[in-house]
Amino acid sequence: MAKKAMVEREKKRQKLVAKYASKRAELKAIAADAERPMEERFKANLKLAQLPRNSSETRLHNRCQLTGRPKAYYRKLKLSRIALRDLASKGQIPGMVKSSW
Predicted confidence band at 1 (pLDDT cuts at 50, 70, 90)? Answer: confident
Q: What is the DSSP string of 43-96?
A: HHHHHHHHS-GGGSGGG-----TTT---SSEETTTTEEHHHHHHHHHHT-STT-
Work out the percent of the chain whose per-residue pLDDT is above 70: 99
Determine the residue type at 57. E
- Whether 87 maps to a domain, the answer reads yes
Q: What is the pLDDT of residues 14-38, one digit of tens each?
A: 999 999 999 999 999 999 999 999 9
Q: Would 98 be classed as within a structural domain?
A: no
Range of the domain at 77: 62-93
CA pair distance 89, 97, nearest whole angstrom: 7
Across all residues in the chain, what is the average pLDDT? 92
7 and 25 both lie in a single domain: yes
Burial of 10-46, coded b for 16+ CB within 10 Å and e otherwise, reads beebeebbeebeeebeebeebbeeeeeeeeebeebee
Model confidence over 84-95: pLDDT tens digits? 999 998 889 898
- Number of domains the chain contains: 2
pLDDT at res. 97: 77
Pair 20, 55 in one domain = yes
Does one domain contain both 57 and 70?
no
Tens-digit pLDDT profile for residues 31-58: 999 999 999 999 999 999 999 999 999 9
